[in-house]
């Protein structure tokens, strides 16, 4: 049989429930656990190996480069979006409706602006700029390829084994030694593969 005196529906003598008492009695987590649990979610980035990164990771130089790039983008967008400079038509993107609208410019107006003193000045200077940009693309592509190749070589470290196999080790023997029933004389030079 159950004892009726114990059945008070989780209420104490004052009529308060014990669940609210438990909430009031909860203490904050100890420091060792709090340091593990509490972190700033806004700084979380996917580093492909974990999500917690040091907040001091971005140095001043990288921040300055980012700011310069953002300023250039703003200038470029302001130039492109200036409707007085180049008039354009907005048309829905035919590839997908969720893509941004197309800004259609008149070719003659674009060429006139490009060859003016405001932008490039002449067709030769425009061609020179195009060639410079193409060369810069090739250079960055080559640098990226070389960096990836170097990284791959470091990971495999195959060049270390090739160097070891190609190197010839020369040793001077200063005593009589018997190897496979052959007597080596004192002071004889022997070359072996390393």
Q: Any bridge partners for residue 170, and if so which? A: 191
For residue 15 the two structure tokens come to 């009529």
Question: Does residue 140 carry a pLDDT above 50?
Answer: yes
What does the domain layout of the chain look like in residue ranges?
A: 122-156, 168-193
What's the pLDDT score for residue 121?
A: 86
Residue whose tokens read 């140095």: 59
**3-class state of residue 61 by DSSP:** helix
pLDDT digits (tens, 9 = 90+) for 141-162: 999 999 999 888 888 876 666 6
pLDDT digits (tens, 9 = 90+) for 85-117: 788 888 998 888 899 988 888 888 888 888 888
CA 148 to chain CA centroid, nearest Å: 14
- Taking the model in full, what pTM does it have? 0.37
Q: CA–CA separation, 73 vs 85, rounded Å?
A: 17
Whole-angstrom Cα Rg for the chain:
38
Question: Does residue 47 carry a pLDDT above 70?
Answer: no
């Amino acid at each position: 049989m159950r004892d009726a005196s114990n059945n008070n529906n989780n209420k104490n003598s004052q009529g308060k429930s014990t669940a609210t008492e438990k909430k009031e009695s909860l203490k904050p987590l100890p420091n060792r656990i709090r340091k593990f649990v509490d972190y700033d979610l806004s700084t979380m980035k996917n580093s492909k190996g974990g999500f917690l990164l040091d907040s001091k990771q971005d140095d001043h130089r990288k921040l300055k480069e980012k700011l310069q790039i953002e300023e250039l983008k703003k200038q470029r967008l302001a130039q492109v979006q200036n409707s007085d400079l180049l008039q354009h038509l907005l048309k829905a993107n035919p590839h997908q409706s969720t893509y941004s609208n197309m800004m259609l410019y008149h070719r003659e107006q674009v060429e006139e602006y490009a060859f003016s003193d405001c932008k490039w000045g002449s067709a030769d200077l425009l061609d020179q700029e195009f060639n410079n940009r193409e060369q810069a693309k090739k250079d960055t592509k080559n640098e990226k390829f070389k960096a990836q190749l170097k990284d791959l070589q470091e990971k495999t470290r195959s060049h270390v084994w090739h160097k070891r196999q190609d190197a010839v080790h020369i040793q001077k023997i200063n005593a009589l030694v018997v190897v496979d029933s052959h007597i080596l004389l004192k002071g004889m030079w022997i070359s072996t593969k390393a």
